Each structure stands twice: as C-alpha cells, then as structure tokens.
Structure 1
Amino acid sequence: MLVSSALLWLGAAAGSLAASWIVPGTVWKDTSGNTIDAHGGMVYLRGTTYYWIGQSASNAETPYMYKSTDLLNWTPLGAQASIQYMWRPKIAKPNGSFWIYGQVNRLVQPLVSTQMEGGYATKGAAVNVPPNSLTYSDTGMFQDPGDGAWYLLTSADHNTIQVNLIGSDGTLGARKNYITSGAYEAPGMFKVGTTYFIIVSAKTGWRSNPNKMFWADGISGSFNGPYDIAPEAENTYNSQNTFELTITGSQATTYIYMGDSWDSTGGPSSTYIWLPMAVSTSAHTVTLQYHAMWKVDTTTGVVSVPSSKKRYEAEDAVITGRAAVTECNDCISKRSVHQIDSGSQVTFNNITGTGEPQWISLHYTVSNVTAGEAHIFVNDQLVPTNISDMNSRAGCHKTVPVELVLKADDSNTIKFGAVGSEDFEIHFDGIEIFEDA
C-alpha cells in the first residue's frame, strides 16, 4: 500500500503501526489497523493534507474517506454520506462547498457539504450525461492546474469517453471533449505542461487488461492514441485505472498512477496498485515505473526505494524433496532452486529479526499463476495460508514483498514451499530483508 500498517503474525499485538513504504498489491491498513476500503476513488490535496475517497465494498458501496500527510499513513474518517451503491466517487470544489460525484444507477449523483470531512447530502436528482442524455459508468475527475476548472470524466454509453465541465454551481455542464475510438472505461486525466493525458481501461469486466493512454494539446483538442502505459503481458500489473495524482515538490514533480486490483466483489483480495509514471511531453509517452516497494516525499516530490539490509540465497538453505540447485543467469548469485513442488521445501535458518514488523521480499517465479501457490512457515507457524493472501502480486512478479514480525534475534526460521497441481512448480532465488526507512 501504501504500506500496510502491517500484517501481524506470530502472536504480535495488533494496533496502530506507522507505514513506511507503498507496496503495490499488499493488504493496506489504516492507522487503526483496519483494511483500507476505498475503491474506485481519488486523492485530493487540501493544504498539506491528502484526502482519499472511494467506495467501501464492505459497506454497500458507501463513500468512505481517509486522510494523510505523507501518502503512507491513512487516518479513517468513515462514511461521508448515507447514500449506498455509489460507484467510483470523486471529489471536486467548483465553488465554496465540497462536492462528491459518483455513479448511482448509471446516472451522475452529486453530493455536497460545507466541510471537507463529512456531512455530504444529495444535491438534486441524479442526472444523465450531457449533451445526449447518456447513462454512464466509471466516474473520473480532473482539475485543470491552469485555470482551476473542474471536469467530470465518464465512460458514457455507446463507448464514449466524455470530458464534461462542472459549472460554478456544481451542475454538470457542456461536453469539452470525447473519445469514441474503442470500448473504453475507467478514465483518468492529468496535465503535464500544455499536454493533456487520459488513461483508460478496456471493458473486460472485473478482469484486468492493458490500460491505454491518449493525449491532446488542449482540453478540447483532438486526442491521439491509444498507446501502452506498461507491457501488455502485465495487464497494468493486475489493476484498473482510478485516478492520476500529481505531486509538485520542491525538487521534482511526480505523477502517480492509482489503480484497483479488483477481485470481482471488493473482498479482502482487492488491493491497490499505485506506481510513479515516467512522462515525456515531447515523445508523448506515459510509462508506469514498477517498484515492488517505493514512496514519494510529498515535500520534495522525490521517489525512493528501500535499501537491502541482508540477503539470503536459496541455494544456501536446507533443501528437501524434488527441488534442486541449478544455474540461473537472471539471479544475482547465478544460481537458484528450481522444481519446488508440493513435496519440496526450502528452509532458511538463523534469520535475524527485530521483533517489530519488517519487510521481506521473496524472490521467485511460478510455472503457472493459476495452478498453485507459494506459502511460508515462520518459526513453524503458517503465515498465512498462501503468499497471495498477503500480496496479490504473488506469482505475477519476481519480487514479492510481505510484512512479517520475526523474533528480535538471529534464531528465526523461514520455510518456503508450494501447493498446487501436479505440474505446478516454483523457481526460488532467495529472500531479502530491507532497511526500515
């Protein structure tokens, strides 16, 4: 997650713990220790505080809000309105009030409050999308940094991505632009220099796909595209676009892709994929920069990744079963343990812990992500059933961070194994422990 407040295992006490990294795919926790439940949303900066609003899947899709000053530690603010089944809520401030716009029964439903936190009530009836009275799905929001104007983005009927101006009275106004070159949804817009970029998803239900980018020279200019923002095989790192956040720092400007990894119901395995983007206005490219763990300094705008504290190679561990050490050109030591199946195990002894939650990366690949799972025992306790319960990127990427609590000495044992079909196997490179900050 942002950095999950922590998956606490081995009898460690649950509670409020500071987050130190954004970890795409892990279970993100708020400062109260509960799973963050704000899907299809956005982040809005007011003063030095960031507000994250999204639909709460565990509360009948009611708009829920969290706040943070560092994009890491999120304080829950709870439900913002009594309305239910509002999908992809977004925040705007077109006048002196605060507005939430979301999709209810495929119509735009505005909510309004005199304060940022709470008190939102419906403002008039839900409306169709101008100019053709279209229904829609997948709300997006954009404020032009040039003139401050607010725009609602929708995936309207007839495969039309629309950009509509929000009036100073909060009503949905004229259409300023649209895209009709494909079946797209989940629009999000951001601006770099004089170039406007829109990121969209294909319509594949809740299953992820290669999200695309379009660009234009003006808010009403012709959109060019589509263009890839990540390798097609990654399916946008198993996520769908919800919002693009710009961090304007003293040393750098960082553009952040915010996506949902949805499990069809918004259940516990629905996580968040946030990644910095490399943007070129001259080449008209947007590229997601994948980091298994990262963070951005909200003051300077500088992105950083963690430093390795210690690495344990799989070939130096105790190996049982069919698994065997073989050459590996892509591995740091040029060797790894291959053919780990349900009858094999790799055991690391004398692992040094801190007694506090710490991030550990498991470096491995699987033969088929749908045919099996990796799991670990820490000091002979199963943590938890499968690695994918802690990180939805498990098996999909070579580096899989998980947060564990190890004993504060060098007597810890981590056993790595597999469960799956007869032909399922894992190739395991090793584990890595990171510095805390």
Structure 2
Amino acid sequence: MRLLQRILEVGVLTAVVDATLQIVPGGTWTATNTGKHIQAHGGGMIKVGDTYYWVGEDKTDGSAFQNVNCYSSSNLVEWKYEGALLSRQGSGDLGPNRVVERPKVIYNRSTKQYVLWMHIDSSSYGDAKVGVATGSSVCGTYSYKGSFRPLNFESRDMGLFVDDDDKGYLLTEDRKNGLRIDLLSDDYLTVKASTYLWKDSIEAPAMIKKNGVYFMFGSKLTGWDPNDNVYSTATKISGPWSSWKGFADSGSKTYVSQTNYILPIGDNAIYMGDRWVSSNLMRSTYVWLPLQISGTTASMKNAVNWVPNVSSGSPTSGPSEASYEGESAQLSGGAKAVSCSGCSGSNVAGYIGGSTTGSALFASVSSSATTRSTIRIKYRNGDSSQRFADVSVNGGAVQRIAFLPNSGSDPDSSSLHADLKSGTNTVKISMTGSWGPDIDRLMVPSS
C-alpha cells in the first residue's frame, strides 16, 4: 500500500492513497449476516489461524443476561455472527435476571479446550463471582462448569492473560481490596494462587506483553460513566509495577469509552473499548483505536476512522472523504428534505421507507480507485430502537444496515462496507415495511 509522506500526531497513523476498509470508533457497526448492530459488549478477542473471534455480551434487551455472542472476521472490520457460546437458562447462574459480563476466551494447548471466563452476579451485584465454561471449538456451544469467588475474594470486572510460557492469569477487580492478578491452574479452570495486588480502585482490566514489558490497562470506578483510563507496567508479572498513568488525552475520558481488551497487532496494539449508554445498553457502541507501545510507554489518539491493516500490522489513518448531502440526492416515493438543525446543510433526506417506500439515490458518488472500502452514512434516528435501511451500491446486492438511536441534534455514523469502482458510483438507500433513518450525508473515501 502506498503511504503519504505525513504522520498524524505521534506517528501511529499514516494516511493512505487508496481507500480501504475502515473502523469507525463509536459508530453503528452492522454484522454482515444479521443486518443488526453487533452485540459483543465488554468483550474480548482470540485469533485462531487467520481468523479473529470477538466474544462479548448481548445487550439487545437490557442488562440481564441473554447470550454470550461470538463473531468472526479476517480483517477486523467486517464481522459475521457465528452464534451464542452460552444462552439464558431457566434458572441458576445463567437464569433470568442474572448478570453475565466481561466474557473472555483463551485456548489451553494441553487440554485442547477453549476456556471461557466471565463475571457472574445477581442483579444487585452481590454475588461477585467468576464463572467458567469450556468448548471444543472457539465459536461452538460451551459447557458451563459453575461459579466461585477466586481465592474466596470478590470478583466483578475481569479479564484473562496467557503468558509466553502458557501460564494463564485471571485479572480481577476485588472491590474491597483492589485489582488482582491470579495464577490459573494448568487447565485454566480454576485459580491456584495470588500473583499481584494493586490496592488502587481499578476495574475493566486488560493486559498485554510487548518486548518483555507487561502492560495492565484499567478504568477508575465511575459506574457506567467514562473516565480517563490508566495503565501500569512491569518487567515481571509479579511486580514491582509502576504507578498508574493515562494513555489518552487528559480530560477526554478515554474518548468517552472504557477499556475491555487490548489486542496486540504488529509492533503495537489495538485498544478495544465500550462506549456505554446505560439508559439503553443495546445502543452502546465500540471505540477501537490504535495504541502505540514504545518501551514502557503507551499512548493513543482519537480518530474519526482508521484502517487496521491486519496483514502488515501497521494501522493507518482513514482516507480523505467527500461529502454527499442527503437532501441533494434523488428522492423518490415519500422521501423528502426535512429540516435538521444539527445536520450538514441544516437538512436531511427524511421519510425513507414507510408506507410510501421512500428512497434516496446518490447518483454521482466518485471514487479514485476500484477498491472495497467503507462509506460512513451520517444519519439521525430519534427512536429508542434500531432503524434499518437496505443499501445497494452500483445496482448490486442489497445490504441491510443498522442505525442505532441517537440523542441530541448531531448525526451519528453507520458504516457501509462496499465495492467501489474507479469513477462514478451510485448508492441507493431504501426500506420496505418500516421507517429507515433520516440521511444527513454520505462520507465517501476520495483518495
């Protein structure tokens, strides 16, 4: 890939000439085979061969446990729903009105089993336990083994880490005592011993190791509200560990997100965070950003969009974009321009779908290259649930795209991944049977 001769901020992101598939932090992220926003909150990642598997919480119907979901991708951008590892049962830890959070999967090479750990709790968060399940395939059905308090201590937010010597560790927030690292048994099914304890109040733990240095990331305790997340380092997992310090811009509240996992990629890493919406957890989104690691220092800058480049392991900035106004598209059926104070041009293409099957056709969308890329659809949705639209590029197959509810007057982004040809393209947005979103504009890669 040809790189422009410029580096953004600290040099993590470099611009690309050819448009490519992009991650859009905080936007609606539609699964390729469901047409719905991905439900993998508080999740983790495991790579098997050339495929990444994203395991997380299903918050479709609120905070009570529904499913631990699994999605797969080869490029970290386009995600396919594979199924549920665990689902709600009639009673017990996985029963109605129970809490199952922060699911993480690791692979035990000795037993050849995938091992799933999660936070297990009551609706009042009084149980404070971990739960364990096993499976013979990464995205298959898992067998739940039960729950316990590790070493008889409370455990709420948790994570997992496997070291170079295959020793596994539980990262666990013990509200009364602090943040713990506990050594797992050889089969990864229970806890053997305490490895380290921070007496600080830190939750949402996630760990990586780079060039012999351990990095522990975590969040301060502010409930569902974001804060400036922090990290600590050590050259031995048993310590001593450094004091906590921030890795994102001070005061940014980690770009309105909370740590859930750190994914190593190339010489650096990807920060995976949740942007929680406590009043409607289904509409919580994901803030993934490149994380630069240098010696014992971690740093991260915000981005509207960026390219993960899994093959090279070198994240690059998103391409420059051209804007196409919704109200300037060819509107048909019942679709028409509607006033929107916070939108570009102060108008949107409204009444998409509905009884008159309104649609918007963008007939002159330009691309400088023939490539598969990401179009950001800026939209408004004043409902409390997802809206949907059917999108076709150049008359090709229709994709069902989700659009989460948004509050305030500013439009949000939903990602459309599509094949563009060099020159002029068409993008048609329509819906049958229900109302689609109001379309503010398309943001299309132009270089």
Fold-level similarity (TM above 0.5)? yes
Q: Does the 8 Å CA contact 1:167/1:173 hold for their aligned counterparts? A: yes
1:258 aligned onto 2:280: no
Query: Where do residues 165-244 of structure 1 align in structure 2 (5 Å cutoff)?
Result: 165-169=183-187, 170-180=189-199, 182-244=200-262
Q: Does 1:354 align with 2:365?
A: yes
SS at match of 2:60: helix
CA distance in 2, matches of 1:158, 1:227: 22
Q: CA deviation at 1:342?
A: 7.8
For residues 227-246 of structure 1, give each alpha carbon's deviation from its aligned partner in whole angstroms, at most 9, with x where no partner exists: 01112321111111000000
Cα deviation, 1:74-102, whole Å, max 9, x if unaligned, reads 11112112353321111012331111001
Offset of residue 305 of structure 1: 2.2
Corresponding position of 1:38: 40
Change (3 A) 1:65 1:158: same
The answer to whether 1:310 aligns with 2:322 is yes
- Tell me, yes or no, if structure 1 residue 121 matches structure 2 residue 143: yes
Range that drifts further, 63-72 or 161-170: 161-170
Shift of 1:196: 0.7
Q: How far does the alpha carbon of each residue in 1:291-315 deviate from its partner, in whole angstroms, 9 at most, with x for none? A: 21112121210212232253689xx
2:67 maps to which of 55, 59, 62: 62
Shift of 1:36: 0.4
Aligned to 2:77: 72
Structure 1 CA distance for aligned equivalents of residues 269 and 147 of structure 2 = 32
Larger relative contact order (Cα-Cα within 8 Å, sequence gap ≥ 6): 2
Deviations along 1:162-221, whole A, 9 cap, x unmatched? 1112211222221111211x2211011111111111111011110111101111111111
**Count of residue pairs brought into register by the alignment:** 337
Identity over aligned residues, as a percent? 28
Equivalent position to 2:112, from 96, 101, 115: 96
Partner of 1:236: helix, strand, or coil?
helix
Unaligned runs of 5+ in 1: 1-18, 318-339, 363-387, 413-429
Distance in 1 (CA, whole Å) between partners of 2:85 and 2:304 is: 32
Q: Is the CA contact 1:103–1:109 (under 8 Å) kept in the aligned structure 2?
A: yes
Quick one: structure 1 residues 432 and 287, their matched pair in 2 at CA, closer, same or farther if it must change by over 3 Å? Answer: farther
1:50 aligns with 2:52: yes
- Seen in structure 2, the aligned counterparts of structure 1 residues 195 and 65 have a Cα distance that, compared at 3 Å, is same
Please list, as runs of the form range in 1=range in 2, the aligned pairs for 1:283-362 lying within 5 A after superposition.
284-310=296-322, 346=346, 353-354=364-365, 359-360=375-376
Which piece of structure 1 moves more, 204-213 or 264-273?
264-273
Q: Which residue of 1 aligns with 2:383?
A: none
What are the Cα deviations for residues 51-89 of structure 1, in whole angstroms up to 9, with x where unaligned? Answer: 110111126342111111111111111211235332111
With normalisation by structure 1, the TM-score equals: 0.68
Q: Determine helix, strand or coil for the equivalent of 1:108.
A: strand
Q: Give the match's secondary structure for 1:30.
A: coil
Equivalent-residue separation in structure 2 for 1:67 and 1:290 (angstroms): 25
Q: State the alpha-carbon separation in 2 of the partners of residues 344 and 305 from structure 1.
A: 23
- Paired with 1:98 and 1:358, the residues of 2 have a C-alpha distance of 33
Contact conserved, 1:55 with 1:88, CA < 8 A, in 2?
yes
Tell me how far apart the structure 2 counterparts of residues 242 and 205 of structure 1 sit (CA, whole Å): 14
1:147 aligns with 2:165: yes
1:172 alignment partner AA: V
| 2:24 paired with 1:23 | yes
- Whichever residue aligns with residue 298 of structure 1, its letter is V
| 5+ residue gaps, structure 2 | 1-19, 89-93, 122-127, 329-339, 350-360, 367-371, 379-402, 419-423, 430-439
Deviations 1:108-159 (A, max 9, x none): 1110112222221112x311122xx111111111122x21222111111314
Amino acid at match of 2:138: M
Deviation at 1:24, TM superposition (A): 0.4
- CA offsets per residue over residues 283-338 of structure 1, 9 Å max, x none? x321113221112121210212232253689xxx9xxxxxxxxxxxxxxxxxxxxx
Q: Tell me the distance in 2 between the aligned counterparts of 1:50 and 1:343.
A: 36
Alignment of 1:266-281 (within 5 A): 267-281=281-295
Of 402, 420, 444, which residue of structure 2 is paired with 1:434?
444
Preserved CA contact (<8 Å) 1:190 1:244: yes
Counterpart CA distance in 2 for 1:111 and 1:344 is: 49
Secondary structure, aligned partner of 1:136: coil
Residues 84, 139 of structure 2: 8 Å contact kept? no
Using the alignment, how far apart are the partners of 1:141 and 1:394 within structure 2?
Answer: 40
Measured at CA, do residues 286 and 61 of structure 1 come closer, stay the same or move farther in structure 2, by a change above 3 Å? farther
Q: Aligned in 2, Cα 1:297/1:343: closer, same or farther, shift over 3 Å?
A: closer
